[in-house]
């Protein structure tokens, strides 16, 4: 079992007990008192993940204010995002759960999977050091759309534009098509008369968010 998860992680543990502990839920140890569960490793992994994510975002966005950086980091390391990562790795298949937890859907439960993901990162850190866990985390972060994890694109764009251009974004509806009950709005967002992006939506608010998202993508190019 440990060999399978090592292949998924692309990391080989020197101390196999660490990965076994990381994949052991508290409900399993309740039935086997001598077995360690993963909550301590989860605590450690949470801190390591936060540091690596913060360093990555800090380096990627050198002109972005602290408030925006915090928002991006919060979305990136959120429980739901960790759950999605764990699901991609099929981590639930490797978990040691108590019979009751396993019978009630524990292998696909968001809280259990996200916590286990943090525990696995904690185990890698203890086994291979900071660079080993950093490589795993950064490989995952590189697959994430960092603008996607912070859904308030307008606020994010405004903070960046204020910093970069010393102005605020301006939104303009340039087209409305479709019948009254199914209108589609097209919005352009600009700063200092320069178009930054454009977007579409079923109402002006959604179109503005889509335009802001497009602008953020353009600013990264």
Catalytic positions: 46, 118
Type and span of the H or E element at 185: strand 184-191
Q: What single-letter DSSP state applies at residue 109?
A: -
- Where residue 190 falls (left for φ over 0; alpha for ψ -120 to 50; beta otherwise) is beta
Residues with Cβ < 8 Å from 34, sequence gap 6 or more? none
Is 115 labelled as part of a ligand binding site?
Answer: yes
Residue linked to tokens 């990264």? 220
Residue 71, CA distances (Å) to 95, 140, 146 in order? 31, 18, 10
Is 131 labelled as part of a ligand binding site?
Answer: no
Is 118 labelled as part of a ligand binding site?
Answer: yes
- DSSP SS3 for 128: helix
Closest CA to 31 of 102, 113, 90, 118: 102
Farthest-apart Cα atoms in the chain, separation: 68
Packed helices 39-60 and 130-141: angle between N→C axes, nearest 10 degrees: 60
Annotated binding-site residue numbers for Mg(2+): 42, 115, 118
Known binding residues: 42, 115, 118
């Amino acid at each position: 079992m440990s060999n399978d998860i090592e292949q998924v992680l692309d990391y080989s543990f020197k101390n196999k007990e660490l990965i076994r502990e990381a994949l052991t839920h508290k409900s399993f140890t309740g039935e086997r008192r001598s077995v360690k569960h993963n909550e301590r490793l989860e605590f450690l992994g949470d801190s390591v993940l936060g540091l690596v994510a913060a360093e990555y975002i800090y380096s990627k966005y050198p002109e972005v204010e602290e408030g925006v950086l915090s928002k991006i980091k919060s979305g990136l390391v959120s429980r739901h995002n960790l759950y999605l990562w764990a699901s991609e790795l099929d981590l639930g298949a490797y978990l040691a759960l108590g019979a009751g937890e396993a019978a009630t859907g524990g292998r696909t439960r968001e809280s259990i999977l996200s916590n286990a993901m943090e525990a696995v990162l904690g185990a890698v850190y203890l086994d291979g050091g900071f660079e080993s866990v950093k490589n795993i985390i950064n490989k995952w972060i590189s697959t994430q759309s960092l603008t996607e994890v912070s859904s308030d694109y307008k606020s994010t764009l405004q903070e960046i534009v204020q910093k970069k251009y010393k102005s605020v974004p301006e939104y303009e509806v340039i087209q409305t098509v479709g019948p009254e009950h199914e209108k589609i709005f097209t919005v352009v967002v600009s700063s200092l008369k320069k178009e930054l992006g454009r977007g579409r939506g079923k109402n002006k608010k959604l179109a503005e968010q889509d335009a802001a998202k497009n602008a953020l993508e353009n600013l990264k190019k």
